């Protein structure tokens, strides 16, 4: 499909920001969101053909309003990418403050559910569309000092697979492990060691066509972006 309608959360930084360039270069209509109004303003300036909105995915009303804006402008998305996520500061589980634990749950799980609740009903009406929820290698394995993040990504795996069983034929819900990428989030966990992994921009050159190639036959599969 050409000229797809793509909805992308967490578009202002990291993997989300890197995906915008190849998507728009291929002529797709990108609707991206992020919490930072300043970064959203920067995206609007850099990509006049894009559609970018300041949205906090933990705010149900804000997400619903954004979805309505997308529907009125373009209609339901062909590709919905739940990318927005945060990671805890590394530490043993019992030392992670409650507020930090609650925040990562709110963004990484509840935020995804908010976006699904707002966008997917219209996609289901058409019986078309692919929902990609960004998982992680830490959604399929574990490491010390990132237990809250692991918990959220394991949840994304289960949520995505259960959703896959609820969708009509012709649609897909996919938990996707992007791989190990040098982003601010990874540097927060691994420090300078993250620099030995590919930059997000290089990753996006492979990830964008891979995402665009996903379809109904991939429904319910735990996939990874090819390395």
Known active-site residue 149: yes
Rounded to the nearest 5 percent, the helix, strand and coil shares of the chain are 55, 15, 30
Catalytic residue (one of 23, 66, 149, 154): 149
Matching residue, tokens 């963004």: 107
The pair of structure tokens assigned to 172 is 């897909």
The torsion angles phi and psi of 60, rounded to 5 degrees, stand at -60, -45
The torsion angles phi and psi of 178, rounded to 5 degrees, stand at -75, -15
d(CA 81, CA 10): 9
d(CA 10, CA 94): 28
What Å distances lie between residue 58 and 10, 65, 143, 184, 191, CA to CA?
Answer: 12, 13, 26, 21, 27
Q: If we measure between CA atoms, which residue out of 11, 39, 213 comes closest to residue 115?
A: 11
HSE (side-chain half, CA atoms, 13 Å) at 64 = 4
d(CA 21, CA 109): 27
d(CA 129, CA 112): 16
Mind telling me the catalytic residues?
149
């Amino acid at each position: 499909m050409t000229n797809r309608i793509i909805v992308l959360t967490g578009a202002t930084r990291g993997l989300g920001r890197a995906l915008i360039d190849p998507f728009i270069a291929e002529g797709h209509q990108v609707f991206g969101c992020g919490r930072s109004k300043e970064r959203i303003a920067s995206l609007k300036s850099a990509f006049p053909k894009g559609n970018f909105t300041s949205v906090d995915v933990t705010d149900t009303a804000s997400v619903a309003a954004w979805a309505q804006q997308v529907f009125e402008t373009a209609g339901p998305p062909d590709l919905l990418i739940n990318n927005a996520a945060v990671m805890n500061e590394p530490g043993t589980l019992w030392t992670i403050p409650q507020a930090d634990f609650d925040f990562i749950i709110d963004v990484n799980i509840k935020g995804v559910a908010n976006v699904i609740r707002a966008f997917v009903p219209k996609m289901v009406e058409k019986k078309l569309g692919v929902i990609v929820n960004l998982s992680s290698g830490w959604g399929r394995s574990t490491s010390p000092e990132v237990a809250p993040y692991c918990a959220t990504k394991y949840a994304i795996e289960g949520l995505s697979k259960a959703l896959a069983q609820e969708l009509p034929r012709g649609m897909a819900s996919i938990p996707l492990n992007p791989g190990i990428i040098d982003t601010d989030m990874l540097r927060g966990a691994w420090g300078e060691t993250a620099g030995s992994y590919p930059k997000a921009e290089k990753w996006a050159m492979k990830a964008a066509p891979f995402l665009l190639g996903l379809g109904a036959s991939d429904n319910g599969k735990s996939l990874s972006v090819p390395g």
